[in-house]
Amino acid sequence: MLLPAVNSTLPAVHCSSARATLDSVRIVEFSLEWMREWAALEDRLQSPYLTCSYDWTQIWLKHYGDLVPHRLAVATYVDEIVGMCLITNGVRQYEGPFEIKTLHIGTAGEPESDSVCVEYNHLLCAPEFLPQFVQKLAQLIAKCEVCECLLVEGMAAGESYEFLDGETPTSVEEVPSYYCDLNLFRSAPAEPWRLFGESTRNNLRRSLRDLGDLELDWADEPELALAFYEEMVGYHQARWKAAGRPGVFSSDRFRDFHRDLIASLVPQQRAVLVRARQGSRVLGILYLLIEQNRLWYYQGGLPEYRSKHSLGNVTQYLSMLEGARRGYDAFDFLAGDAQYKRVLSTHHNVVYWIRWRRPSLKFRLLDGLRSLRRKYSS
C-alpha cells in the first residue's frame, strides 16, 4: 500500500519575476575564489539544504573533482550573485550498451560504482530567482553545451517543478521517499510501534520482548562517529562480500568522501551515527544525515543478517524513538521502494529523476530495439 504523499517541509519556490529580472546566468570555470562566493551566498541566504551546501560540495569536489569534469553556473542580479550550482560532465555513463555524453546538475555524474547517489538535490539560489535561474540555465545548456543527455537527479520537488515547466523531458521518474513522522511518535498514547501495520507491529513487539534491555549509542562528536563509521563499513562490506557483491564501500572515493563528510558535518549537527546494542552485542549501526530537523537514513551495517529477529528494523525503530525524544520531525528512508522502508513509514515524499535526450541515431536505435523487445515479450 502506498502511503499518503505529504507536502515536505521544503519552502515553496514561486516568485513574481515582474519585479526583478536576473542580469545574467553564465557557466564559469571552477576556482577556489568561486567557492568562496558559494560559501558567502549560502551564508547570505541562510540556506538549510545539505546537498548544495558549501561543505557537501567542496568535500565532493575534493574526492571526485579529479575524476568528474565540473564547472559552476552563476546567476547575478544587480551585480550580486543570487544563485549558483555545480555542472558536471558524466564519466562512464551508459544507456543500454552505449556510453553517452551526459551533463548533470549538482554533485552527480560519477561512475555508478563510485556514486554518492545524491538525493534531495537543490540549487543554491534565492527563492524569488529560482524559476528564472532554472529557465535561463536550461536555455544556456541547450544552446552552448555539447552533450547527448541532460540529467537532473534526485531533485527535490520545488526545483523539479521549475525544470518540468520548460521543455518537455524525455523521461521523468517519480520515486517515493518514505518517512516516519516522529511527531506521531511523541503524541502516541501507547507504544509507537502501534502506528505500523499488523505484521510489522507483531514482529517489532516480539523482537523487543525477546531481546530484552536494549541501548542506543548516539555518536554526535566526530571521534566516536568516525569509529562507528569504520565499524559500520566493516559490517556492511562483510554482508555484501558474503553475497558475492562488492558493496558500496568497496569504492575508496566513496568511502573517503563520507569519512570527510562525517568529520565536517557531525560538529554542525548535520550528521550522526547511531549504534543499537544488547549489552556488548551490536545489533546494527546507522549513518544518518540531517536536514531541516529531519533524519535521513543514508547507510547502515548489521553484524548478523540471519537472526530470527529483524535486527535492522529494531535498530531503525530504536533510532526513531531516540530521534523523537531529541525533537526531530521525521526519519526519512530516502528514495526507493524497499519493503523495510514502506513498513516502517507513515508518509512519503516524491523525489525526481529527470532526463532530456538530444535526438540522435544512437537513441533511435535504442528505442527501436526496446520497442521490438516489448513487442515480442508481450
Q: What is the pLDDT of residues 159-206, one digit of tens each?
A: 888 888 877 899 999 999 999 999 999 999 889 999 999 999 999 999
Asked whether residue 13 carries a pLDDT value surpassing 60, the answer given is: no
Distance CA 273, CA 236 (A): 14
Answer whether 57's CB lies under 8 Å from 172's CB. no
d(CA 315, CA 276): 6
3-state secondary structure of 308: coil
pTM here? 0.91
pLDDT band at residue 368, thresholds of 50, 70 and 90?
confident
Helix (H, G, I), strand (E, B) or coil at 137: helix
Which is more confident, 257 or 308? 257
Domains and CATH numbers, the chain: 24-167+351-377 (3.40.630), 180-345 (3.40.630.30)
Give the model confidence (pLDDT) of 272-305 as tens digits: 999 999 999 999 999 999 999 999 999 999 998 7
Q: Is residue 347 within a helix (H) or strand (E), and if so which, with residue range?
A: strand 347-357
SS3 179: strand
pLDDT of residue 105: 96
Matching residue, cell 516480539: 206
207-249 pLDDT, tens digit each: 999 999 999 999 999 999 999 999 999 999 999 999 999 999 9
Quick check: 236 and 299 in contact, CB under 8 A? Answer: yes
Q: Average pLDDT of 258-271?
A: 98
pLDDT score at 73: 98
What is the pLDDT averaged over residues 316-331? 98
User: Which secondary-structure segment (H or E) carries 334?
Assistant: strand 330-335
Residue 88 has pLDDT above 50, yes or no: yes
φ, ψ of residue 376 in degrees (nearest 5): -90, -5
Q: What is the largest CA-CA distance in the chain?
A: 65
Residue 250, amino acid: S
Task: Give the confidence band of 18 by pLDDT, cuts at 50, 70, 90.
Answer: low
- pLDDT score of 7 more than 60: no
H-state helical runs in the chain: 32-45, 54-64, 130-144, 157-164, 182-187, 198-211, 222-242, 252-265, 311-325, 339-343, 361-377
Q: How far apart are CA 282 and CA 377, in angstroms?
A: 47
User: 277 by DSSP, 3-state: which?
Assistant: strand
Helices and strands, counts by H and E, the chain: 11, 15
Q: Which residues contact residue 206 at a Cβ distance below 8 angstroms, ignoring those fewer than 6 apart? A: 309
pLDDT of 116 higher than 60:
yes
- Whole-angstrom distance, CA of residue 169 vs CA of residue 266: 38
Coil, strand or helix at 253? helix
Which amino acid is present at 228? F
pLDDT digits over 58-77, tens only? 999 999 999 999 999 999 99
Q: What is the pLDDT of residue 146?
A: 84
Q: What is the pLDDT of residues 19-64, one digit of tens each?
A: 689 999 999 999 999 999 999 999 999 999 999 999 999 999 999 9
Tell me how long the chain is.
378
Classify residue 189 by its DSSP letter.
S
pLDDT exceeding 90 applies to what percent of the chain? 81
70, 89 Cβ separation under 8 angstroms: yes
Residue 258 confidence class, pLDDT cut points 50, 70, 90: very high
As a whole number of angstroms, the distance between CA 98 and CA 361 comes to: 12
